[in-house]
Amino acid sequence: MKNDKVVFFKDDHSYWLGDQQIPSVGKFTGRFYDSFEDSFWKTHITLKRILGEEYMDHYRSFKKFQPDAIDLFEPILRDISPIEFHKVKKVVDDEWTKKRNKANFNGTKFHNLKEEKAYLDGFLINPFDGKKYPVTRHESEFDNETITLDFMSLPDGGYLEMLVVAPDFSVAGQSDEVYIETIDGVRYIDINDTKTNEKKPAKSSLSYYLPPLDYMYASTHNKYAIQINSYAHILSLYGFVPRNLGYTHYKKYDENSGVLQVLPVMKKEIEIIFDKNLHF
């Protein structure tokens, strides 16, 4: 397999080795939390726009921030015209879609400009140790592809949009910045991802991961922690030692606003996620 490559297609966010599709890190980790949070809040906003304080009084009567959806919505929906509900819901859906698309566009633009600067400079500054790591452009005929499947052959340096894949091809993903440094024969990796959320990623949430990880909030921060730790775990399967992991949040797409959030190495959680996925 050394001469093969895994390729990435952006349109459907898919990874391929020849004719074999490889699950993404997002698919692996997404099985452990409820993905219907958006639906709840879109319905909540729709009912609030239609009924105003009448609905909000009902909502507040549950005395908790996110009541059960069936108990909250069904008594109200029985008395509302389905046509009116779907008309207002369509407006809410469109607003969310436009906001998400705008954020994705601006985030990609910021990301690309940041990458291009690093290529022109010829180096990346590792946010964990402040040192310059040489970086070279990796050309691809696809949206992205693996530099090699023999990852331990990679020289020390900084790698942008590094596509990583587990040795058994069970999962693949790509990290914004991977730094490799060899000290006394040990090959260390530092991983930093770029985040441009409108707000600082929240550490708490209204929901939790699913069992057996239900002691963790399914917050944006924890989802990033799981994502980045998954990249580190994949590279550790080749022999690399995760050293520093984190993400840098940039406010309003301002490169000077970056704040590094250092993450713990989550060995137990990642092993649970990978083991469970292999038995789905």
H/E element, 259: strand 259-263
Count CB atoms within 10 A of the CB of residue 204: 10
pLDDT, tens digit (0-9, with 9 covering 90-100), for 203-249: 988 788 999 999 999 999 999 999 999 999 999 999 999 999 999 99
Of 64 and 93, more confident: 93
Whether the CB-CB separation of 143 and 8 falls below 8 Å is answered with: yes
Burial of residue 270 (number of CB atoms within 10 Å: 0-12, 13-18, 19+) = buried
Task: Name 73's Cβ contacts closer than 8 Å, sequence gap at least 6.
Answer: 43, 47
User: Residue 6: pLDDT above 70?
Assistant: yes
Instruction: Give the least confident one: 30-44, 110-124, 146-160.
Output: 30-44
Q: What's the pLDDT score for residue 1?
A: 44
Q: Work out the mean pLDDT of the chain and round it to a whole number.
A: 93
User: Residue 280: pLDDT above 80?
Assistant: no
CA distances from 37 to 63, 66, 156 (A): 19, 10, 41
156 three-class SS: coil
Q: Where residue 120 falls among pLDDT bands split at 50, 70, 90?
A: very high
Q: What's the pLDDT score for residue 207?
A: 81
Q: What's the pLDDT score for residue 278?
A: 67
pLDDT, tens digit (0-9, with 9 covering 90-100), for 96-110: 999 999 999 999 999
